[in-house]
Amino acid sequence: MPPLAVVCASALGMIFMLGSTNPAKSAENPDQAFVNQTRAGQQVVSPVFTLEVQYWAGRIQKWAAAVGLDPNLVATVMQIESCGDPRALSRSGAMGLFQVMPYHFTSYDDPYNPDTNALRGLDYLRRSLESAHADPRLALAGYNGGIGVIGRPEGEWKAQTQRYAYWGSGIYADASSGADGSHRLQEWLAANGAALCRQAYMRLGINP
């Protein structure tokens, strides 16, 4: 989880239209109409991601468009951070889909609201990508370890950040290539991701 810098909700808050915090009320993709409308000529979420992340495909596309990011990069971060569990909570206290630390929310925020959580997390991801000069591997390292790691030799990164960059860059490369599957994602699931995804699957009440 990145040590997110405080971000301003500003005009983006209107774009995100903060809404329901209980996605488990329906196992259907909450924005399927948007997904269908944007398949022609626009970036869509790759099929390599797990079913739990695909659940959020429509919102991922909206969030990505709002901050000018590739939806597959956004989906990659969600995959590794929470596997689509909007109520995910880490041992360090990071919360929600994009695992944002509590001190980056205002007293009026609901940290588990998907739109609020995305607003905070994706602004940091955007700034990390800018600092990395559009290098997705470095941007992912910055998201996990703090933007300051981007200018340091990779050998100086914490082991967690090295693993994060390894998993994320491989998953993102597979998603960006148009592949139907991702060997790197399967590695991540086997290493530490399967339990996270089982929790998300149950939380979302997905019907296969």
- Residues with a known catalytic role: 81
Please give the structure tokens belonging to residue 113.
């609201």
Distance in angstroms (rounded) separating the CA atoms of residues 139 and 132 = 6
Distance in angstroms (rounded) separating the CA atoms of residues 158 and 208 = 38
DSSP secondary structure, 26-65, as one string: -SS-TTHHHHHHHTTTS----TTS-HHHHTTHHHHHHHHH
